[in-house]
Amino acid sequence: MISVKAQAGKLFAYLGTVIDKFKESAIEESEATLSEVKSQMSVAGSAVTYPIKWDSEKQRRFVITKLTKEGNLPYKRTDAYRNGWVLAAMPDGFALSNKHPAGAIGGTTDTPSWQSNIHRGRWPALMPIVFKAITGLAERILERLKGK
């Protein structure tokens, strides 16, 4: 005669361990994924092309005035945007952010249509990079879990 017993307490303890390891794997893979996104977003945009294609004369005057006041003519990149990406630990994962106003380059396409002609298509766009990075995330978490 064969007999099988299920001890609920041991089963729940085992499931708790599996859940903890799954959460650990998910957090580790989320960090790795966002770290890759950060790396791709920290790439400098391509140089401006000449002659500069201003959106308007008003924009040209504003930019030249601003750069003159800042003592940044001829213009030199500060790399504040590129170096502004921060990957921070949260209670249940990680967050990637950039406080620089250009962080709005997020867009949903590689060349956001709302962007100025000066910047359009020259800098990485956040959302396409995120969408690509999260493709296969569940599978990567499961692979990481298998190794535990």
Residue 22 in any domain: the answer is no
pLDDT at 107: 52
pLDDT at 133: 95
Q: Is the pLDDT of residue 56 over 90?
A: yes
| Structural domain harbouring 86 | 33-134
Residue 16 in any domain: the answer is no
Residue 61 in any domain: the answer is yes
pLDDT at 58: 96
Residue 97 in any domain: the answer is yes
Strand residues in the chain grouped as ranges (E)? 86-90, 93-97
Q: What is the DSSP letter of 103?
A: G
Confidence of residue 42 (pLDDT cuts 50, 70, 90): very high
φ, ψ dihedrals at 57, nearest 5°: -65, -35
Q: How many domains does the chain have?
A: 1
pLDDT at 106: 56
Angle, vertex CA 34, rays to CA 126 and CA 101, nearest 5: 40
Cα–Cα distance between 106 and 5 in angstroms, integer?
55
Q: Give the CB-side neighbour count of residue 130, counting CA atoms within 13 A.
A: 11
pLDDT single digits (tens) 80-110 = 889 999 999 998 889 999 988 776 565 555 5
Residue 8 in any domain: the answer is no
Residue 26 in any domain: the answer is no
Residue 142 in any domain: the answer is no
pLDDT single digits (tens) 9-27 = 888 888 888 888 999 999 9
Residue 72 in any domain: the answer is yes
